[in-house]
């Protein structure tokens, strides 16, 4: 018999070995963004860009052709690499190979889902068996759905019941719908700068705090009537907004990533989640943790287990289908999850959700088998230790070359800030500064892309040149080899002699 919520009793099983000193990191990040940009030396950048022309010529031709048929040439936001996207043909464990035969250390890991490394053979073989018998979809119940739900409930303290959906975006949509039904209140307070998918109401305040609807082209403004953002790590700002909302419809939910927006790019104090929990209880709002990135990556108990703070609803994505398609789900307390009861029963009000491909046998099986493998191999912790090694090594290089860069990590989520693009916010209280801030962000984003290109040319795939996800396939040797490559890039930074 499996022990429910076992991880709460075992705080040693988490990816984070030591929680970062948030004020110290924020001070360094603030210093970074107040200084002039330190990018690549002109000649070095030219050499890196020339590399792509010669070593990646087949990719270049293929992407040029794709641009005729696919808007922008690639289907996925994360695949937009400078100077042009590469075409990848093979992924295995910690490595990727491109169409021209170049081999890379993969710190993108598909944007988070492949915590075991890419395409693990034992999972693949079992998925193939399932495909041979059931195929990918029937629209009917398969026992892997139950196995997966039980596994999630076993590990996640805030989850009594689990419903699989098609993506993290869908799960966030379902979560706020339930919150409004359950509380009969109106507002959703999301942490500024966080991405909770691309649905209308949540396309608000994304990437940078204070952007409000700036990124939401094509969404009517009145969709945001009841969406608000609060400043990351600012409990007073949250409380002020909760208090104000009391008099105009109330707050249905506070929605946040428990390690901070954009996978902790802007880190939170360790006590912040607990403070938010207390405020939610005071104001009768549900606490929704978006654990699309952190669930299982921070440990089998997720970030909620690590912080020992129990949300009312938990949003899942990515790892929940083990890197296979249709990765989304919502878990939570029974009284809230009842709003998702599938089927045709009438009576209680239900939150409208759907999805032809949701909870198909393929994603349920891949998810369940992956969670079992994570458990068996202690993969969240192994990947976390790889993240520690990488971050420490980057820290040494930053010191060695006396660079203003900042490296920090939350286990296997590593941040390498060289320009700090994501650390800005829109200064609405000083409107005359907005245009200058936007220009500065734009210039820094360009240099961040160039850094990403340099890493790529050195054989390292990163997320947008500033985030690195480690996996359990990253051995010490692989991390050390990556550091040799980062060393080469850092030698080429302006001002390094």
Beta strand pairing call for 460-461 and 103-106: parallel
* d(C-alpha 396, C-alpha 260), whole Å: 25
Kindly provide the residue ranges of all beta strands, DSSP E only, lying in 138-260, ordered along the sequence.
161-165, 187-191, 227-230, 251-256
**Closest residue to ligand PLP in the complex (CB):** 168
Q: How far is CA 124 from CA 82, 90, 118, 155, in A?
A: 32, 14, 10, 23
Q: Which is nearer to ligand PLP, 59 or 326 (CB)?
A: 326
Residue among 67, 11, 112 at smallest CA distance from 322: 112
Nearer to ligand PLP, 259 or 406 (CB): 259
**Adjacent-strand bridge partners of 460:** 105
- The answer to whether 300 and 373 have CB atoms below 8 angstroms apart is no
Q: Shortest Cβ distance from residue 412 to ligand PLP (Å)?
A: 14
Structure tokens at 347: 């009576």
CB atoms within 10 A of CB 12: 7
The answer to whether the CB of 423 falls within 8 A of the CB of 260 is no
In whole angstroms, the minimum distance from the beta carbon of 366 to ligand PLP comes to: 15
Three-state DSSP at 339 gives helix
d(CA 11, CA 9): 6
Which CB atom, from 354 or from 427, has the smaller least distance to ligand PLP?
Answer: 354
Closest distance between ligand PLP and the C-beta of residue 313, in Å?
13
Q: How far is the CB of 396 from ligand PLP (least distance, A)?
A: 29
Q: How far apart are CA 388 and CA 392, in angstroms?
A: 6
In the complex with ligand PLP, which residue's Cβ is closer, 212 or 297? 297
Shorter beta-carbon distance to ligand PLP: residue 167 or 201: 167
DSSP strand pairing (406-410 vs 328-332): unpaired
The answer to whether the CB of 390 falls within 8 A of the CB of 409 is yes
What minimum distance in Å lies between the beta carbon of 341 and ligand PLP? 23
To the nearest whole angstrom, how small is the minimum distance from the Cβ of residue 202 to ligand PLP?
9
d(CA 294, CA 265): 13
Least spacing, CB of residue 201 vs ligand PLP, in Å: 13
The H or E element spanning position 462 is none
Tokens of 100: 């021209």
Please report, to the nearest 10 degrees, the dihedral formed by the alpha carbons of residues 307, 311, 315, 317 taken in order. 20
Name the site residues for ligand PLP (rule: CB under 6 A): 111, 167-169, 172, 195-197, 257, 290, 292-293, 317, 327-328
Residue number with CB closer to ligand PLP (45 or 330): 330
Please choose, from the candidates 412, 413, 469, 487, the residue with its C-alpha nearest in 3D space to the C-alpha of residue 105. Answer: 469
Provide the minimum distance between the beta carbon of 272 and ligand PLP in the complex, in angstroms, as a whole number. 16
Judged by CB, which is closer to ligand PLP: 93, or 264? 264
Nearer to ligand PLP, 229 or 290 (CB): 290
Alpha-helical segments (H) within 401-497: 434-457, 476-491
**133 contacts: CB under 8 Å, gap ≥ 6:** none
Minimum distance from residue 388 beta carbon to ligand PLP (Å): 22
Closest of 54, 313, 333, 296 to residue 152, by C-alpha: 296
322 or 328: whose CB is closer to ligand PLP?
A: 328
Least CB distance from residue 200 to ligand PLP, whole Å? Answer: 14
Nearer to ligand PLP, 168 or 361 (CB): 168
| Residue among 172 and 388 whose Cβ is closer to ligand PLP | 172
The least CB distance from residue 319 to ligand PLP, in Å, is 11
| H or E, element range at 316 | strand 313-317
3-state SS assignment for residue 195 = coil
Smallest distance, Å, CB 243 to ligand PLP?
A: 27
Residue closest to 471 by CA, chosen among 336, 373, 344 = 373
Cβ closest to ligand PLP, residue 117 vs residue 197: 197
């Amino acid at each position: 018999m499996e022990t429910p919520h076992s991880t709460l009793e075992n705080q040693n099983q988490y990816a984070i070995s030591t929680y970062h000193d948030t004020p110290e990191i924020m001070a360094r990040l603030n210093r970074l963004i107040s200084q002039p940009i330190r990018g690549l030396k002109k000649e070095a950048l030219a050499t890196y860009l020339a590399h792509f022309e010669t070593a990646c010529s087949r990719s270049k031709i293929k992407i040029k052709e794709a641009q005729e048929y696919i808007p922008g040439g690639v289907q996925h936001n994360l695949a937009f690499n400078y100077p042009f996207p590469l075409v990848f043909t093979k992924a295995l464990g910690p490595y990727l190979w491109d169409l021209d035969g170049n081999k890379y250390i993969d710190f993108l890991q598909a944007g988070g889902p492949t915590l075991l490394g890419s395409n693990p053979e034992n999972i693949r073989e079992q998925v193939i068996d399932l495909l041979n018998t059931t195929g990918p979809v029937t629209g009917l119940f398969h026992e892997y759905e139950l196995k997966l739900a039980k596994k999630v409930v076993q590990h996640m303290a805030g989850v009594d019941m689990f419903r699989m959906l098609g993506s993290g975006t869908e799960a966030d949509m379902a979560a706020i719908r339930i919150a409004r039904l359950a509380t009969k209140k109106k507002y959703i307070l999301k942490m500024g700068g966080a991405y909770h998918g691309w649905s209308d109401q949540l396309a608000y305040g994304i990437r940078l705090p204070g952007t409000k609807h700036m990124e939401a082209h094509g969404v009517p403004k009145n969709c945001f009537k009841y969406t608000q953002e609060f400043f990351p790590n600012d409990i007073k700002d949250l409380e002020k907004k909760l208090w104000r909302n009391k008099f105009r419809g109330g707050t249905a939910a506070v929605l946040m990533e428990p390690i901070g927006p954009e996978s902790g790019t802007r880190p939170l104090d360790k006590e912040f989640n607990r403070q938010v929990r207390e405020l939610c209880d005071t104001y009768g709002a549900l606490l929704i943790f978006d654990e699309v990135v952190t669930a299982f990556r921070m440990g089998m108990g997720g970030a909620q287990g690590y912080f020992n703070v129990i949300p009312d609803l938990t949003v899942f994505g990515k790892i929940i289908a083990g890197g296979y398609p249709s990765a989304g789900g919502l878990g939570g307390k029974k009284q809230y999850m009842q709003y998702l009861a599938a089927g045709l029963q009438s009576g209680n009000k239900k939150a409208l959700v759907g999805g032809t491909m949701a909870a198909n046998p393929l994603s349920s099986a891949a998810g369940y088998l992956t969670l079992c493998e994570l458990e068996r191999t202690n993969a969240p912790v192994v990947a976390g230790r790889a993240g520690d090694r990488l971050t420490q090594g980057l820290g040494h290089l930053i010191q060695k070359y006396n660079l203003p860069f900042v490296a920090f990590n939350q286990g296997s989520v590593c941040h390498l800030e060289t320009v700090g693009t994501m650390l800005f916010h829109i200064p609405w209280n000083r409107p005359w500064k907005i245009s200058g801030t936007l220009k500065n962000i734009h210039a820094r984003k360009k240099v961040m892309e160039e850094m990403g290109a340099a890493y790529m040319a050195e054989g390292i795939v990163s997320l947008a040149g500033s985030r690195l996800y480690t996996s359990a396939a990253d051995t010490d040797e692989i991390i050390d080899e990556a550091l040799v490559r980062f060393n080469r890039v850092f030698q080429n930074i302006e001002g390094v002699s």
